[in-house]
């Protein structure tokens, strides 16, 4: 059982590890060795990673994989993916190849608007608040000028501040709903700095405003924070081809494949349980590239799922149809991403991932990542409506099972061959492995 500790953050790294080992490790020496194995021998690189977060005791590796052959808007891309789940990178590569032969992916930006809000309570006459806001709005913008100067020079900045009456949802609750253009930056720090300045100015201007009563002057700022729900920072990616070109599946005619595919997507639109798994598959591709490029996958996840529920019920993020003999499959997804700032210039592998992607702008990265999500979904739905997901998945998983069993390279080669035309199950692999071991003893 965990025990409480005071002043943990003040301990040195070695002291933290010693405390952890003493209180949590079954075998102290072994636990410390494992932590040590993952520490980088380059002290400078290690200290860079140590400083990303707090109370760092080691590193936690995730594999970086590569999915080549993505033809997006007639240009080839090689996509770096960071993910622990087997099959995802292989599926991306397969989908890329499939659509490379059918005209590739098309992607376009539908909007890049970021959002931040000052949440406040106002007790009084809403008309007076409206009049005060109209008067103070230029002052709010002026107050942020030093923060926004650089961004404005490059064509970005605060695009609007709106007063929103939310008192129907919660008594006395109002917002300053602010919109931003943050160009190639994700912009979280920029937005939050602007919001805090706007909030402070709003409150202090209210205190000296003649048109507000004493009670009305006392605006209570509850919080100022960006929103990860960005329904106007959206990218669309699509593939399309004549139905006849969907001719790679042995057991389905192209028309049957197209119809079944459209039906599978319709099911994800109609039924939240399926929609969540369907969208999870999309996020397999999206998160992997978001992570590789040093972006915030929690923000992307939260925003994507909110968007999937924008109609009031949770739906598929992708859509499919057949019209006039053309199969069309597309995704629309909000992606607030950055290719400058944050980890992008700090983490050497993030820098390299961006280099692999030819140093994209945030808009280009939005397109690439939306395509990665669409490709992943195509691969998953294609498997689901044809062979089923387990065939390919278990093939990939075979390696994980064999690694867990400590199989040698020879044994791995033997089992890859053994399972070529057999169904792989976890228990069967273990049984066959033990049988092979017994035979060789
Ligand atoms: C597994 O990580 C993702 C899938 O479940 C997605 C889907 O069902 O569409 C295969």
- Which residues does a 6 A CB cutoff place in the pocket of ligand 1? 85, 277-278, 280-281, 284, 380-381, 384, 389
Please name the residue ranges forming H helices in 145-232: 145-153, 188-207, 214-217
Banded model confidence at residue 390, pLDDT cuts 50, 70, 90: confident
CA distance 286 to 301: 9
Cβ-Cβ contacts under 8 Å for 95 (sequence gap 6 or more)? 375, 376, 378, 379, 382
- Which of 205, 216, 238, 296 is catalytic? The answer is 296
Mean pLDDT estimate for the chain: 96
- Residue with more model confidence, 394 or 330: 330
> Exposed, middle or buried, 320 (CB in 10 Å: 0-12/13-18/19+)?
buried
Cβ distance 116 to 227 under 8 Å?
yes
Cα 379 to averaged position of ligand 1 atoms, centre (Å): 9
Q: What is the model's pLDDT at position 224?
A: 98
Active site residue 296: yes
Residue 69 backbone phi and psi in degrees, to 5: 70, 25
Q: What is the model's pLDDT at position 440?
A: 81
pLDDT in tens, 142-161: 999 999 999 999 999 999 99
Which atom of ligand 1 is the closest one to the Cα of 284? 2
> What would the two tokens of residue 78 be?
């090689």
pLDDT in tens, 409-419: 999 999 999 99
Active site residue 33: no
Q: Are strands 114-121 and 318-323 parallel, antiparallel or unpaired?
A: unpaired
Percent share of the chain, pLDDT over 90? 93
Q: What is the model's pLDDT at position 257?
A: 98
From residue 301, how far is each of 162, 166, 282 by CA, in Å?
Answer: 26, 26, 10
Q: What is the model's pLDDT at position 423?
A: 84
Q: Quick one: residue 225, left, alpha or beta (phi over 0 = left, psi -120 to 50 = alpha)?
A: beta
**At residue 250, does pLDDT exceed 90?**
no
Tell me the mean pLDDT in the region 301-322: 98
Of 84, 88, 98, the closest CA to residue 285 belongs to: 88
- Which of 13, 16, 49, 85 is catalytic? The answer is 85
| Closest C-alpha residue for ligand 1 atom 6 | 281
């Amino acid at each position: 059982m965990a025990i409480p500790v005071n002043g943990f953050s003040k301990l040195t790294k070695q002291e933290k590890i010693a405390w952890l080992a003493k209180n949590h490790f079954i075998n102290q020496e072994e636990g410390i060795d494992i932590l040590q194995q993952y520490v980088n021998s380059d002290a400078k690189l290690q200290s860079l990673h140590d400083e990303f977060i707090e109370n760092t005791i080691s590193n936690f590796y995730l594999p970086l994989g590569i999915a080549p052959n993505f033809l997006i808007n007639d240009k080839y891309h090689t996509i770096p993916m960071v993910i622990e789940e087997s099959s995802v990178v292989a599926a991306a590569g397969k989908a890329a190849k499939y659509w490379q032969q059918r005209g590739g992916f098309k992607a376009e930006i539908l909007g890049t608007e970021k959002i931040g809000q000052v949440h406040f309570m106002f007790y009084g006459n809403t008309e007076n608040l409206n009049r005060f806001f109209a008067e103070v709005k230029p002052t709010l913008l002026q107050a942020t000028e030093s923060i926004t100067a650089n961004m404005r020079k490059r064509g970005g900045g605060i695009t609007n501040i709106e007063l929103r009456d939310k008192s129907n949802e919660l008594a006395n609750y109002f917002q300053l709903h602010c919109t931003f253009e943050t160009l190639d930056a994700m912009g979280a720090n920029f937005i939050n700095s602007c919001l805090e300045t706007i909030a402070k100015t709003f409150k202090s201007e209210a205190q000296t405003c003649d048109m507000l009563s004493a009670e009305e002057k006392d605006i209570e700022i509850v919080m100022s924070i960006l929103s990860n729900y960005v329904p106007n920072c959206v990218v669309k990616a699509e593939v399309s081809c004549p139905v006849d070109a969907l001719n790679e599946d042995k057991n389905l005619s192209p028309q049957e494949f197209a119809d079944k595919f459209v039906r599978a997507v319709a099911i994800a639109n109609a039924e939240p349980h399926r929609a969540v798994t369907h969208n999870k598959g999309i996020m397999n591709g999206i998160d992997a590239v978001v992570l590789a490029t040093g972006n915030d996958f929690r923000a992307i996840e939260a925003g994507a799922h909110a968007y999937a529920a924008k109609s009031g019920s949770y739906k598929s993020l992708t859509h499919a149809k057949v019209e006039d003999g053309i199969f069309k499959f597309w995704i629309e997804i909000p992606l607030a991403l950055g290719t400058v700032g944050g980890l992008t210039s700090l983490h050497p592998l993030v820098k390299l991932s961006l280099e692999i992607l030819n140093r994209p702008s945030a808009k280009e990265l939005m397109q690439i990542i939306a395509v990665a999500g669409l490709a992943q979904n195509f691969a998953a739905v294609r498997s689901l409506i044809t062979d089923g997901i387990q065939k390919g998945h278990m093939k990939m998983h075979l390696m994980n099972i064999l690694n867990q069993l400590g199989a040698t390279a020879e044994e791995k080669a033997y089992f890859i061959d053994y399972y070529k035309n057999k169904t792989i199950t976890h228990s069967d692999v273990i049984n066959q492995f033990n049988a092979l071991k017994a035979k060789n003893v």
